[in-house]
Amino acid sequence: MRYAIAVARTRHFGHAANECAVSQPALSQQIMMLETVCGTPLFDRLRSGVRLTPFGRDFVELAKAALSASEALDDFALRRKGKPNRPIRFGLIPTVAPYLLPEIFPALTDHLPDLKFIVSEARTESLLEGLGDGSLDIALIASDPPAGGPRLVTALLFEDAFVLATPSAEPTSEPVSLEKLPPDRILLLDEGHCFRDQTISACRLEGERSTRTFAATSLSTIVEFVANGQGVTLLPQIALRKEASDPRIAVHRLDDPHAGRQLALVWREGTPLGETFEAIGDVIRKSRPNAQA
């Protein structure tokens, strides 16, 4: 049922397999066995991915309810112990995971040796869906959870300020005024990334202007374009050690001290593991990387 829910959410067998930490053949085999038991397909296999059949839509909704009940039983049993008897399923957004994990994961292992983790990377919407259907225990995000979803506890971690990355050969005076940046030179992540929305807001690119800029799938791709003189971009402070080490890149302070994002841990309200998740948050705060410009 977890595999079916993951495929329904990602609309892709490979992405679902990565999210569930299994091989794609293993996940596909389990889905086929499930469809055999049900006597009908759950998914239509398309060239561009998969989509739920009408039966599959109903099945997934019932599966979510069944898994939620299973999670409730787990929670009931754990209330007396306050510690998980399985790995904690920890999701992070793509503009945080590659920069923060190398710092925090060793610290979590050292300070909380009794805990085991299954780590996954996904966009904010998918992480919140995972918290809602029970496939994730905690998530590290950089935006406020929208209303209407599961009731969540939010533990603030730290502010992650933005800086401007430009080609090093391009003269730029500091501090940089974002309002004066030519919109057509600002490189953005593609749709669905919260960092894209934060950049659009900081640079005031609302409306049609936000659709006229280049969109990439990762910050590393954008930085390579900047290094080749094809534009400028905002970078979060935690990404500087990895993304700004190229001598072709120059990093500049902004004149807006509020340009940045707030990183936070979120988990479902009422979980018996709240104290454990608070401890995880404390370790992350103490082990945050000191980014170097």
Structure tokens at 28: 């596909």
pLDDT band at 292 (very low <50, low <70, confident <90, very high): very low
Determine the residue type at 52: L
> For residue 54, is the peptide bond before it cis, meaning its omega torsion is within 30 degrees of 0?
no
Q: Is the pLDDT of residue 154 over 80?
A: yes
- For the ranges 37-46, 132-141, 146-155, the lowest mean pLDDT is seen at 146-155
Tokens encoding 139: 């998530």
Q: What is the DSSP string of 162-213?
A: EEEEEETTS---SSBPGGGS-GGGB-EE-TT-HHHHHHHHHTT-TGGGGGSS
- Quick: pLDDT tens for 169-228: 888 888 999 888 888 888 988 877 888 888 888 888 765 455 555 678 889 999 999 999
**Which pLDDT score is estimated for 19?**
79
Confidence of residue 293 (pLDDT cuts 50, 70, 90): very low
Mean pLDDT of 268-293: 81
What is the DSSP pairing of strand 88-92 with strand 117-121? parallel
The single residue listed with the structure tokens 């019932």 is: 62
What is the distance, to the nearest Å, from the Cα of residue 117 to the centroid of all Cα atoms in its chain? 16
Packing angle of the helix pair 13-20, 24-38 (nearest 10 deg): 110
First to last CA, the chain: 46
Q: Is the fold of 1-78 the same as that of 160-260? A: no
Antiparallel, parallel or unpaired: β 215-216 and 188-189:
parallel
Say whether pTM exceeds 0.85: no
Domain spans, the chain:
1-78, 160-260
Percent of the chain exceeding pLDDT 70 equals: 90
What average pLDDT does the chain have? 86
Q: From the CB of residue 61, how many other CB atoms can be counted at a distance below 10 Å?
A: 13
Distance CA 97, CA 74 (A): 28
Number of other CB atoms surrounding residue 79 within 10 Å: 11
Q: What's the average model confidence in pLDDT over 235-262?
A: 91
Q: What angle is formed at CA 104 by the lines to CA 225 and CA 249, rounded to 5 degrees?
A: 20
101 pLDDT band (50/70/90 cuts)? Answer: very high
Percent of the chain past pLDDT 90, that is, above it, reads 47
Question: Which CATH number among 3.30.70.260, 3.40.50.2300, 3.40.190.10, 3.30.565.10 corresponds to the domain 160-260?
Answer: 3.40.190.10
Structure-token pair, residue 173: 């005076």
pLDDT at residue 97, rounded to an integer? 92
Cα separations in angstroms, 75 against 79, 84, 208, 257, 272: 6, 9, 47, 42, 6
> From CA 113, how far away is CA 5, in angstroms rounded?
31
Say which DSSP state 238 is in: G
CATH of 1-78, one of 3.40.50.300, 3.80.10.10, 1.20.120.10, 1.10.10.10: 1.10.10.10
Average pLDDT on 136-162 reads: 85
Residue 183 near residue 203 (C-beta atoms within 8 A): yes
Total residue count of the chain as it appears in this document:
293
